[in-house]
Every structure is written in structure tokens, then in C-alpha cells.
């Protein structure tokens, strides 16, 4: 039976019939390439061999990527290595490994890049699944680096755990731009293809899809449209990053098969796997599944349309970054709101009712007062994103779509879903009094009681089991309650 594809098997790896190393000039410890002294071999991939070297001019360690002798004189491979170095050099960001130098000596084309001390995420996950917050932080760092690459006009096209390195400070850096493609129009003759055609790294745009002329990437993490050879855009990299996130949390890639063709079929048609239970807190598991599923949606149109949108979703899925408000804080905030908002409302309503009573009008003030409090709550959320109680406890209500304060419609829907039952009950009881109808009044009392009792119980259940502790009224309105944050995306 054919062995399953290995984690780093790409569709563009350099094949050698006998599997042996190529003959030719062997680079060993002490060898020199320009002003770089080879210390030891770090590894090899489809596009080159990587060595730890010392930059003799600046006395610092670097990683040298060298084109192997077997392909050193092939124009297609030379162009690809040059394209990789130039693309990576243009992406200046803490989450992308820096390029220092490109040169050629004794027919060996090479470039020097930042040597990152640490381990790849592939090495890390081989020891066991990552904690959810560690995985989200790693993927967030990768997304920041990929966003900068996209802003510079490039797609990575080979996002996977082995191309993401984590340094001793926990910073993740994107490596290996060997399959990079310039985001030019699909019908542009100068598209940066993976088939070895000459690349032009001049003016590029980041919004148009990239045309492909060959099957390029790593099948275990590859987006369906990329596997089909269709034009791709940043959403293909987002798909691969989603498959990487799943792998980091679950301990294995989302799909496994014997051939690249079988994997492509699974990525295109199979149900998205869910994160195994026990890999995340119950309150976070649903949000994590939703994030992975959207990143890995079979249709590109169903994925995140931008890295900013993706970063926001990652932050909301992270309990460390979003810090959703819990049961006690929200109950205390609601209690404060009921006192702060009720005092002026009841004062005004009380004066109005006293005036009406003096003119022989008898009006039940309970439904009017409760409705007025709900209106005040709605306006406060729409205007500031918080009420007095939430502001005092450093809580805020935000839209999950963009992290901004709720729109007026969202605030209205949220208040209606949260207080609607109690408000309806108060009005039924009020009309029952006016019409001297005991059944109507009794119905109102039941609804009011249910509304008052149900709200804290539902909130408690949401705090214990809900995704990001979102209560039903937050899910209906598309909002969430979290502690205030001013941490911007880099």
C-alpha cells in the first residue's frame, strides 16, 4: 500500500531517481561562499539546501539557502531562487525572516537570511498539540507576516507548520518564500508563475488573483482552487493557515490520504473536521471550530476577505486577547445600570404620572418606566458601546463583525432580546389593570417573572458553556461583551 504523504511533501519538490544526494561541490564545515563561512547543514527542501553560516563581515550567524548542484545551472530554478530572495527582501516585518544578501560563487547561487534560533511549528507539534492560546498566537503572528507580504504584492502559496519558525521570545516568523507569486492580474503575461518563467517584481497589486500554470504547494494544506490550478488570491494562503491552525490544535492535519489527488478531493468536498473535544475550553471550542471552518471554507468567497478581518476573528476566538466578560462582572454591571439608569427615568416618569393623576388620569407607570430604561440602555450602547455599569467595570459591547461599538439596530435587537420578555409582561399587566382583566394581568405577571428569572440563568449558562461567553441576545445581535482593550494590530 502506498504510504501516506509526509507533512512536507510539496508538489514541486526536486525529484532524484535514486534518492541520493547530488554529486558535485560539497559544502561542509569551514567551506566559504563569499564572506560567509559554513558551520553546518540545517536541512534541505525542494528549492535548496540550508546551512548555518557565519557572516564574517559582521560576525553574526545567518542561514544560507543554496541552490543544489543538480539544479544550479537550470534557469527555472535559478529564477525561482532569485524571485524568492527579492520577494522576501521586500517584506520588512518582525514576523518575516529578513534577507541580507544574494550572491553566486563557484556556480553556487545562494542568499543569506536571518538565522532564527528556535523551532518550526512542525517540530513543535510533533511533540504534541499546542495549547489553544499558543496556537492562536502563532497563527496570528503568521497572519501579520502574510498580511505584510500581501501588502507588498505577494502570495506565499506554501503556508504550513514547517515554514513557520518560533523564536525563543515566542515570535513567529514566516519562512521559505520559494513558491511566492506576485499578485498580478491573471491574464498578465508577466505573472509570477511557479513554472519557472522569469519573474518581474516591479509594480504589483494585491487585490487581483494570481494565475497558475503548474501545481504548486503542499497538498496537506492546499486550498481547493490552488490544487485545481485556478487563479488564487490571499484567501488561498488563509486556507493553508487555517489548515495549519487545525493541525496545531488537533495534533494532525485536517485530512490524510495516500495521494495528492485524493487530498485535493477531500479539501474540496469533505466536511470540515471539528477540533477534538478536550483540546479547548468548552466556552472556546465553538469559536475555534467556527474560525477553522471559515478559514478552510471550500469556496474562497466564504473565507475571510482580508487579513484584517481574519486578525479580528482570531482576537475574538482568543480568551487572552478578547477577554470576554464573565457572569459576575456582567451581573454587577447590570445591577449598577438598573440603579443609575432607573433613578432619572423613574424620577421623570414619576413626575409625569403625578401630573396626570392630578388631572384625574390613572396610568400604570411600570411598563412605561421599564421601556424607558430599555431605550436609555439602547442609546447608550449605540453611542458609546457601554452603559454606566459596564464602563465602571471596564466592559464594553462590540460588534463581532468589526470590533466597533454596536450600530443602533444591533443595540435595539440586543436590548429587545434581553429585556423583551419582561417588557412585554409589564405591558400585559398594565393593560390588564386598565381593562380590569385578571387573566391578562396574570399573563403579564408570568411573563415578567420569567423574564426576570431567565435572564441571569441564561447568562450563567452562557458564561459556562457559550462560545466566548456570548449570551443568546449577543448572538442574535451579532455582539459580544468583553473587557475594554486598546491593543492594535501591528
What number is the average pLDDT over the span 132-138?
93
Question: In whole numbers, what is the pLDDT of the chain averaged over residues?
Answer: 80
Q: Which parts of 106-215 are beta strand (E)? A: 108-114, 119-120, 154-155, 164-166, 172-174, 181-182
pLDDT at 89: 85
List Cα–Cα distances, 343 to 127, 357, 364, 372, 373, in angstroms.
59, 21, 18, 11, 10
pLDDT at 357: 54
How far, in Å, CA of 255 to CA of 220, rounded? 7
pLDDT for 210 beyond 80: no
pLDDT for 343 beyond 80: no
What number is the average pLDDT over the span 136-161?
92
More confident residue, 172 or 401: 172
How confident is residue 245, by pLDDT bands cut at 50, 70 and 90? very high
pLDDT at 183: 60
pLDDT at 146: 94
How far, in Å, CA of 295 to CA of 255, rounded? 15
More confident residue, 183 or 393: 393
pLDDT for 215 beyond 70: no
Query: How is residue 277 written as a grid cell?
Result: 473535544
Of 79-88, 287-296, 443-452, the range with the highest mean pLDDT is: 287-296
How far, in Å, CA of 407 to CA of 388, rounded? 18
How far, in Å, CA of 374 to CA of 384, rounded? 15
pLDDT at 145: 94
How confident is residue 217, by pLDDT bands cut at 50, 70 and 90? low
What number is the average pLDDT over the span 180-207?
39
Percent of the chain whose pLDDT exceeds 90: 32
User: What DSSP designation does 407 have?
Assistant: P
In this predicted model, what pLDDT tens digit does every residue of 250-262 receive, in sequence order?
999 999 998 889 9
How confident is residue 370, by pLDDT bands cut at 50, 70 and 90? confident
The catalytic residues are 158
What number is the average pLDDT over the span 72-91?
83
pLDDT at 73: 79
For 302-366, give the DSSP string: GS-SSHHHHHHHHHHH-HHHH-B--HHHHHHHHHHHHHHHHHHHHHHHHHHHHHHHHTT----HH
pLDDT for 81 beyond 80: yes
pLDDT for 272 beyond 70: yes
pLDDT for 367 beyond 80: no
How far, in Å, CA of 272 to CA of 417, rounded? 32
How confident is residue 247, by pLDDT bands cut at 50, 70 and 90? very high
Helix H, strand E, coil C: the string for 18-66 is: CCCCCCCCCCCCCCEECCEEEEEEEEEECCEEEEEEEECCCCEEEEEEE
What number is the average pLDDT over the span 24-43?
84
pLDDT for 346 beyond 80: no
What number is the average pLDDT over the span 276-284?
75
What number is the average pLDDT over the span 139-161?
91
* Nearest residue to 159 via CA among 262, 246, 73, 94: 246
pLDDT for 163 beyond 70: yes
pLDDT at 54: 94
How far, in Å, CA of 158 to CA of 179, rounded? 6
pLDDT for 199 beyond 50: no
Q: Other CB atoms closer than 10 Å to residue 328's CB: what's the count? A: 11
In this predicted model, what pLDDT tens digit does every residue of 295-317 receive, in sequence order?
999 999 999 999 999 998 898 88
More confident residue, 46 or 246: 246
In this predicted model, what pLDDT tens digit does every residue of 379-406 receive, in sequence order?
999 999 989 999 999 899 988 876 788 9
For 123-134, give the DSSP string: HHHHTSPPPHHH
pLDDT for 218 beyond 50: yes
> Do residues 479 and 414 touch, judged by C-beta distance below 8 A?
yes
pLDDT for 187 beyond 50: no
More confident residue, 91 or 137: 137
pLDDT for 147 beyond 70: yes
Q: What angle do helix axes 327-358 and 438-465 make, rounded to 10 degrees? A: 160
Residue 489 CA, chain-centre distance (Å), reads 12
Amino acid at each position: 500500500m502506498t504510504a501516506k504523504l509526509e507533512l512536507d511533501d510539496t508538489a514541486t519538490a526536486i525529484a532524484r531517481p535514486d534518492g541520493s544526494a547530488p554529486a558535485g561541490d560539497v559544502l561542509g564545515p569551514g567551506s566559504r561562499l563569499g564572506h560567509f563561512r559554513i558551520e553546518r547543514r540545517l536541512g534541505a527542501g525542494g528549492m535548496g539546501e540550508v546551512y548555518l553560516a557565519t557572516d564574517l563581515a559582521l560576525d553574526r550567524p545567518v542561514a544560507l539557502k543554496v541552490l543544489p548542484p543538480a539544479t544550479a545551472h537550470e534557469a527555472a530554478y535559478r529564477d525561482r531562487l532569485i524571485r524568492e530572495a527579492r520577494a522576501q527582501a521586500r517584506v520588512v516585518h518582525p514576523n518575516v525572516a529578513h534577507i541580507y544578501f544574494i550572491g553566486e560563487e563557484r556556480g553556487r547561487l545562494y542568499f543569506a537570511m536571518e538565522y532564527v534560533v528556535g523551532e518550526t511549528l512542525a517540530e513543535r507539534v510533533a511533540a504534541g498539540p499546542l495549547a489553544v492560546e499558543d496556537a492562536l498566537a502563532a497563527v496570528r503572528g503568521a497572519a501579520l507576516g502574510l498580511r505584510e507580504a500581501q501588502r507588498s504584492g505577494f502570495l506565499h502559496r506554501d503556508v504550513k507548520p514547517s515554514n513557520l519558525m518560533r523564536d525563543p521570545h515566542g515570535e513567529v516568523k514566516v519562512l521559505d518564500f520559494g513558491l511566492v507569486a506576485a499578485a498580478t492580474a491573471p491574464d498578465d503575461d508577466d505573472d509570477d508563475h511557479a513554472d519557472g518563467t522569469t519573474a518581474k517584481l516591479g509594480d504589483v497589486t494585491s487585490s487581483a488573483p494570481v494565475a497558475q500554470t503548474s501545481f504548486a504547494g503542499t497538498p496537506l494544506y492546499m486550498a481547493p482552487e490552488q490544487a485545481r490550478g485556478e487563479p488564487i488570491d490571499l484567501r488561498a494562503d488563509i486556507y493553508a493557515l487555517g489548515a495549519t491552525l487545525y493541525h496545531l490544535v488537533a495534533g494532525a492535519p485536517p485530512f490524510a490520504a495516500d495521494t495528492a489527488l485524493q487530498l485535493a478531493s477531500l479539501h474540496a468536498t469533505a466536511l470540515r473536521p471539528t477540533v477534538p473535544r478536550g483540546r479547548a475550553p468548552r466556552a472556546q471550542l465553538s469559536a475555534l471550530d467556527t474560525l477553522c471552518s471559515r478559514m478552510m471554507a471550500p469556496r474562497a468567497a466564504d473565507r475571510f476577505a482580508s487579513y484584517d478581518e481574519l486578525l479580528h476573528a482570531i482576537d475574538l476566538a482568543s480568551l487572552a486577547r478578547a477577554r470576554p466578560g464573565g457572569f459576575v462582572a456582567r451581573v454587577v454591571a447590570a445591577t449598577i445600570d438598573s440603579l443609575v439608569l432607573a433613578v432619572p427615568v423613574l424620577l421623570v416618569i414619576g413626575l409625569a404620572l403625578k401630573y396626570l393623576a392630578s388631572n384625574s388620569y390613572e396610568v400604570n407607570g411600570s411598563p412605561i418606566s421599564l421601556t424607558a430604561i430599555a431605550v436609555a440602555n439602547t442609546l447608550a450602547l449605540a453611542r458609546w458601546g457601554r452603559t454606566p455599569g459596564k464602563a465602571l467595570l471596564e466592559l464594553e459591547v462590540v460588534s463581532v463583525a468589526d470590533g466597533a461599538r454596536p450600530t443602533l439596530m444591533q443595540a435595539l435587537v440586543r436590548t429587545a432580546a434581553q429585556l423583551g420578555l419582561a417588557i412585554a409582561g409589564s405591558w400585559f399587566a398594565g393593560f390588564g389593570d386598565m381593562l380590569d382583566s385578571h387573566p391578562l394581568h396574570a399573563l403579564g405577571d408570568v411573563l415578567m417573572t420569567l423574564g426576570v428569572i431567565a435572564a441571569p440563568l441564561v447568562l450563567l449558562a452562557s458564561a459556562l458553556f457559550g462560545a466566548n461567553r456570548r449570551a443568546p441576545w449577543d448572538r442574535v445581535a451579532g455582539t459580544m461583551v468583553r473587557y475594554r482593550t486598546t491593543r492594535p494590530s501591528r
